[in-house]
Amino acid sequence: MAISETAELPEVTDQNPVKEFVAVNETYYEQQFKIIGDKRGFAFTWNWAAFLLGSIWFGMRSIWSYFLPFVALETLAIVQLARGIWGDLGAPILARLPGIENTLAFRREQLAEARENAPDKVETFENAIASLERAIEGIKQEAAAANDTALQLIIMGLAGLLLIKSAEALLANGALQARFTQWLSDRTIGSGLKAQNIALAFILAAMTYITCSLKFGFPDQVPSLTAFPADPQFQASVADAIKQWMANAAVQSEWFFDGLTFVIRGVLDALETIFVETPWPVMGGFILLLTGLSAGWRAAVFTGAGLAYLGYLGFWDKSMKTLALLGTAACISISLGIPLGIACARSSRLYAFVRPVLDFMQTMPAFVYLIPVIAFFGTGKPAAIIATMIFGGSPVVRLTVLGLKGVPNDVREAAMAFGGNKRYLLWKVDLPLAMPSIMAGINQTILLSLAMVVIASLIGAKGLGEDVLEALQYASEGQGILAGLAILFCAMILDRIIQGKRR
């Protein structure tokens, strides 16, 4: 097909790219960029604008990675200048005087009373008064010596500021040339001198210089810089509002939490029957067989040693109760987490909503979310299971999403070319290829759930965590170490069983 003569051709511009990038003084920067480009290693160049403006120059040029450290260094030097010129260096030292002077006045009153009623104590009070007077004189001399260092601070501040500005002038052209090189391949990078960058750099630098100088040079003049001007009454009112909301929500949603507790209790009772009520030789043999089939018979020997430790030291029943509690939390977390991970892998919008929730679950300290769990579920094993699910349920969702998104597109396209539908792709292509990642998520969920054993014992969960908690309460080091090792063996046995084939 012939190209139409009227077709629009791309606009050709002969504008100098350096001029377009720097906006001002392009001749100077052309020369400097050429020097830097031709020089192997560090090229010595000097930028007077950067020397005079300092960190503000880097902010104006959108080189924020240089702006932040340089503004911090300049602030240190300016603070020394402010302290040396305007600061009262002896004030913090003299602040100790009123307390000592009050003690001195009290001792003098005691001395006067002792001269009348207890002559044998006169010498003691006289020695104490003399010691306090020497302390006062020493403080005054120390304050005077501190004030005499003002000139040293001024010299140090000026020398530091000059050194910092020299470093800025030496590095400015090189930093701008590196940004220019990036800009040539990506024109979305900021160029020129934009008004918003200039204003932001000036405001940030000025605010930093002024506030830090006031804080360290005049600490008593602006108390709001020492501590954030918060109103304690505001915090109390917000806390009361949250407490009232949780109380109302617990009452209105009682049917939901009762139903959820019933389901959790049913799963827990079933697992406790399996783990606790089953004779120990049967349960031990089943664990050994499962470990041998999954991770090999060497791992089974280690598992036998761990089970012997649990049995001979009297931790068998508590270990089985712990595994039942852990199994309930892990089963529910995995049953909900894998389908949710599949849905998030298919829908970016859903994952964008779920990801902050997962971040909250992983970053919020466990003792914090025990509070709402107790408010809605009370204390006991169901509440401990809910807390364990919150703490350990995130990895299985994240790693399921990661595994499914890592399935090669060419494999999926080949399956679709041979007539595979969505269900076939999910069960025969996506899940098998993502299974190593999913298994890693399951493993992490189970081990994180086991890490909650001790914390869950605070709200009524039984098991090995109870022994560790008692050891902490009564400073029983031996009991705590033995129970901790029992938890460790449980974790290692579960890890070998789950991860054996993948390894």
Residue 469, pLDDT score: 81
Rounded average pLDDT over 359-376 = 81
Residue 501, pLDDT score: 53
Residue 19, pLDDT score: 86
Residue 194 has pLDDT above 60, yes or no: yes
Residue 10 has pLDDT above 90, yes or no: no
Residue 94 has pLDDT above 60, yes or no: yes
Residue 502 has pLDDT above 70, yes or no: no
Taking phi over 0 as left and psi of -120 to 50 as alpha, with beta for the rest, 327 belongs to alpha
Residue 6, pLDDT score: 40
What pLDDT, in 10s, does the model give residues 402-434? 999 988 888 888 888 888 788 888 888 888 899
What pLDDT, in 10s, does the model give residues 250-288? 888 888 888 888 888 888 888 888 888 888 889 888 888
Residue 249, pLDDT score: 82
CA atoms within 13 A on the CB side of 26: 12
- pLDDT band for position 362 (50/70/90)? confident
Q: What percent of the chain has pLDDT over 70?
A: 95
What pLDDT, in 10s, does the model give residues 447-482? 888 878 778 787 777 778 888 888 877 777 888 888
What pLDDT, in 10s, does the model give residues 321-352? 888 888 888 888 888 999 999 999 988 899 99
In whole angstroms, give the CA distance from residue 447 to residue 469: 19
Residue 340, pLDDT score: 92
Residues 493 and 306 sit within 8 Å (Cβ to Cβ): yes
What pLDDT, in 10s, does the model give residues 153-186? 889 989 999 999 999 999 999 999 988 988 988 8
Q: What is the mean pLDDT of the chain?
A: 83
**Bigger pLDDT: 43 vs 15:** 43
In angstroms and rounded to an integer, the radius of gyration of the C-alpha atoms of the chain is 36
Residue 229 has pLDDT above 80, yes or no: no
From the CB of residue 89, how many other CB atoms can be counted at a distance below 10 Å? 18
What pLDDT, in 10s, does the model give residues 236-260? 888 888 888 888 888 888 888 888 8
H or E, element range at 81: helix 64-85
**Which of 21-30, 143-152, 178-187 has the least mean pLDDT?**
143-152
- pLDDT band for position 52 (50/70/90)? very high
Residues 178 and 66 sit within 8 Å (Cβ to Cβ): no
Provide the token pair at 387: 């807390």
In whole angstroms, give the CA distance from residue 382 to residue 275: 18
What pLDDT, in 10s, does the model give residues 205-224? 999 988 888 877 676 667 67
Distances (CA, A) of 104 to 96, 118, 121, 313: 13, 19, 16, 64
Residue 111, pLDDT score: 81
- Ranges of beta strands (E only) in 7-90 are none
Residues 433 and 485 sit within 8 Å (Cβ to Cβ): no
Give this prediction's pTM: 0.65
In whole angstroms, give the CA distance from residue 440 to residue 431: 13
Provide the token pair at 42: 């560090």
H or E, element range at 373: helix 366-377
Rounded average pLDDT over 140-153 = 81
What pLDDT, in 10s, does the model give residues 295-326? 788 888 888 998 899 888 888 888 888 888 88
Residue 500, pLDDT score: 64
